Chains A and B, each alone.
Chain A
Amino acid sequence: MSAGTWLIGIVVVPAVATVLSYLFTSVVRRVATVVSGLATLALSVMVAVRVAGGGRVVAGTLFGADSLSGIFLLVTAFLYAATAIFSIGYLGGSRGMGELIGRVGQVVRQGASAGKDGDSEEASQQWAVSDRFDKRFFTGINIFCGAMSAALILSNLSLVWVAIEITTVVSALLVSLEDTDGASEAAWKYVIIASMGLGLSLLGVFVLYVAAAPVLGSSHALQIGYLAHVHGLARGTVELAFVLAVIGFGTKMGLAPMHTWLPDAHSEAPTPVSALLSGSLLAVSFYAILRFEQVTVLNVGNVFPHDVLLAFGVLSLLIAALFLLVQRDMKRMFAYSSVEHMGIIAIGAGFGVPIALAGVMLHVVSHGLAKGTAFFGAGSFKIKFGTKDISRISGGLTALPWSGSLLLAAVAALSALPPFALFRSEFMIVDGGLSAGQDLGVVVLLVLVTVAFAGLSWNTVKIILSPDRPNGPSMLAPGSPAISGSSGPSGGLGTGGGLDAGASQGGGHDSPGTAVSASVDGTIPPGSSDNSVIMPLEVAGSQGLCAWMVVPMLAGVVGLVLLGLHPPADFMRLVDSAARELTGRVAR
């Protein structure tokens, strides 16, 4: 199989999973999504290894990848696979089979028991709503990840824009999926603000075309492979295109002051979607900016693009650091942490020297791993405690020993503590800043990162390490209503058990499929009434489900340690090659 075929596979595999998810049952959806995620990851690794030493893999004129694409492909594909696996636990792995059998049980019982028509009908409706949610979720996840992967390997800049715009509209629907007032509000703000930004970036694409067409010709003017090495474009036009791209794609990347949609969307989306938005989508938008930066550096010089990126980076870091100090919502806190890290990445790119750019590349991958893990942990806590409110959560490590420990590790990584990879990447960025003579920028970076560290670590310590308050709201009682207003996946599906003992206690609220609520020992909680017929099946299924939620977190933390202590040689070659691409020093 040729390398070009791998690129086509990266687009085709999620497309097939999308069709399967839409057409078939929940079991098929899960299998298709996990297989697709893992296959995409395998293909991405193969592409990344192939381009690690430089050069470009192409499939016709439509698809192509270089080392820069390889870096972003790795993080996107990893999060695709991790999210697919986590979602099985998050949505309830036994939902498909368990609920189907349970539904049959209801129907059988209906024949034996008079006066239960209403209950049976209600259970049937719940099953239908649950199945609809399930179908939309997995179909949407596959389209979303497929579009992000496509954006990274499309050869034409205008098609990259189209793919990124598709990620916007699909992810807006995913954000609204839980059907709460907050989700609806967040989705609307997100789609309007991000679309306005992307409108500007489309203008930037056309302006770049105006600059490049006289030199490269109409058919090659927006081909990334040509743009990455072109000289002699009109300076003013390229500068305008770059600014439009930074503002436009920067809106999606979460750069301040265009970041306002980000905390809302990330906090209100279903947790697996939050992980993808934060770890992957922001990076994909940054990838688009880097493609413009390549052209700008070659034709305008270093100073202008680097100053623009530095300005946006410092502002983003400043705002995020201040807001991190006052956050009371766990997912919102991680959302602001994303703004912080996008600021660090922009500053690193603004330093512009090879060591800093290599640090930026490493930071993109490490942030994806750490933020995915952090959001997965936040999702587990939300299920366990029925809230995202930091002040109402305590004793996390006792309640969720695995998820709590891994969440703590993820936060330590996000705070750039050794031995995690973000320590290494931030060290490289600081080193680059000093070698570029940007002493003031380095000082600002270090001060603001320290402020952000204080906010993030203080809140996390409160959640995880503080003792459980005896009379606090803490954990949900078995069968108790959970996550008010949420009609999504979380509570009541027995997503815990197994590793994190007790995590399956998520109460039955009004969500689809929440007929299921029982304690880990299988006792039937009060108020479960007629739905008890399906409970043993669900609880039995839930005992092992926790592994679905813990394994992706464990993989993320292992990856962070590995990249921090001893990154694979091929990976570092890829990082160096991508940095050289950005400085225009790549060997041909």
Chain B
Amino acid sequence: MAVATVVSSPSAFTSIVTLFGVGVLVTEFLMLRAHLLRSQVRLYMVQSSLVAAVALATGIEQGNSGLYAVSALSFIIKVVIVPMVILRLMRVDSADLSQSAIMKLPSMLYIALVTAACGFFIGVPFRTASVIGRGTATAGNAVPIDIAIVLVAFTLIVLRRDVISQVAGFFSLENGITLFSISVARNMPFITDVATFFDLLVAAVVFGLLMRLHHMKTRTLSTHVLDRLKG
């Protein structure tokens, strides 16, 4: 009830969504420097919790019951099931991923910052293009941050050459897109959300299996060794 009261004010709602969006972006920057499998998975759990919170807050603000379900599904699948699947399939908790970066950490952070800034400016026009809930203080204001999250996820995948970080990057990318859809496409048919979550679940299992296969074949989590196939 208290939450409902807080988010019923447009400015409070906008602040909460923006704050959580920035939180997601920060977790991505932390992912750039995470050295352990378990650290990456924990950061993903935190990030997904924030996404679930944005969905809940938006659902309350808009009175959209579909978003309650999206929030619940996000939490159950992304915070509980996907991390569990990844950790069960990859029993290499202590593996050090610190050597997987293709450049030094400050350089990576600099690139990620520039990328985030680009994403922010690309997303600005969407603040006015947000059509659902037009005329109210909507989550459409968070679109620039959502685009920044998507682009920083790409840099994570490119700059870290280990299978764990690349998968974390892909799931972050998916979180960014989920935030974007909450911002601008929140009235989409619920079946779309269900199908997307199902797909995410399947993807988590397959990524986990392929990571395990890679580790069994190469005895490393690094993708530096994937250089047999060329030309």
Contacts and interface: CB of A to CB of B under 8 A. Distances in A.
Contacts of B34: none
Contacts of B210: 172-173, 176, 184, 187-188, 191
B150 A203 contact: yes
B132 interface: yes
Nearest to A186: B229
Interface residues of A, number: 47
A46 to B, nearest CB: 27
B226 A185 contact: yes
B77 to A, nearest CB: 14
B188 A169 contact: no
Given A172-B206, A182-B228, A158 B188 contact: yes
Nearest to A171: B206
Main secondary structure of the interface of A (DSSP, over half): helix
Contacts of B192: 156, 158-159, 162, 222
Interface string A240-277: 00000000000000000000000110011000000000
Scoring A189, A195, A203 by chain B CB atoms within 10 A of each residue's CB, the highest score goes to: A195
Contact of B157 (A196, A221, A263): A196
Contacts of A268: 229
Interface in A165-195: 165-166, 169-170, 172-173, 176, 179, 181-182, 184-189, 191-192, 195
Scoring A209, A234, A267 by chain B CB atoms within 10 A of each residue's CB, the highest score goes to: A209
Contacts of B125: 236
A232 B202 CA distance: 37
A391 interface: no
Interface stretch (A47-55, A77-85, A212-220, A452-460): A212-220
B185 A209 contact: yes
A199 B191 contact: no
A185 B229 contact: yes
B130 interface: yes
Interface string B196-215: 10110011001101100110
Given A169-B203, A234-B129, A206 B150 contact: no
Contacts of A323: 231
Interface stretch (B85-93, B105-113, B176-184): B176-184
A165 B226 contact: no
A222 B196 CA distance: 15
Nearest to A165: B199
Given A181-B217, A214-B131, A326-B231, A169 B177 contact: no
Contacts, number: 118
Given A210-B131, A213-B185, A267 B199 contact: no
Contact of B199 (A166, A206, A210): A166
Interface stretch (B5-13, B24-32, B68-76, B166-174): B166-174
A162 B189 CA distance: 14
A184 B202 contact: no
Interface residues of B, number: 44
A202 interface: yes
Contacts of B181: 206
A192 to B, nearest CB: 6
Nearest to A329: B231
A165 B162 CA distance: 22
B150 A199 contact: yes
Given A191-B206, A203-B180, A219 B229 contact: no
B163 interface: yes
A169 B195 contact: no
B99 interface: no
A237 interface: yes
A237 B128 CA distance: 12
A165 B132 CA distance: 27
Interface string B9-53: 000000000000000000000000000000000000000000000
Given A192-B166, A199-B173, A203-B150, A213 B132 contact: yes
A162 B210 CA distance: 20
Contacts of A234: 129
B200 to A, nearest CB: 9
Given A173-B206, A196-B157, A210-B126, A188 B226 contact: yes
B65 interface: no
B187 interface: yes
Given A185-B229, A187-B213, A169 B189 contact: no
Given A156-B192, A182-B228, A192-B166, 20 more contacts: A162-B199, A165-B203, A166-B199, A169-B206, A181-B228, A185-B226, A188-B163, A192-B170, A196-B157, A196-B173, A199-B153, A199-B170, A203-B180, A206-B180, A210-B131, A263-B231, A267-B229, A268-B229, A327-B231, A332-B231
Interface of B: 125-126, 129-132, 150, 153-154, 157, 163, 166, 170, 173-174, 177, 180-181, 184-185, 187-189, 191-192, 195-196, 198-199, 202-203, 206-207, 209-210, 213-214, 217-218, 223, 226, 228-229, 231
28 contacts: A158-B192, A169-B206, A172-B206, A172-B210, A176-B210, A176-B213, A182-B228, A184-B213, A184-B218, A185-B229, A186-B229, A195-B170, A195-B203, A196-B170, A203-B177, A206-B177, A206-B181, A209-B184, A210-B130, A210-B131, A210-B184, A210-B185, A218-B188, A219-B189, A236-B125, A237-B129, A326-B231, A332-B231
In the A-B complex, the 3 residue pairs with the closest CB atoms: A218-B187, A169-B206, A162-B195
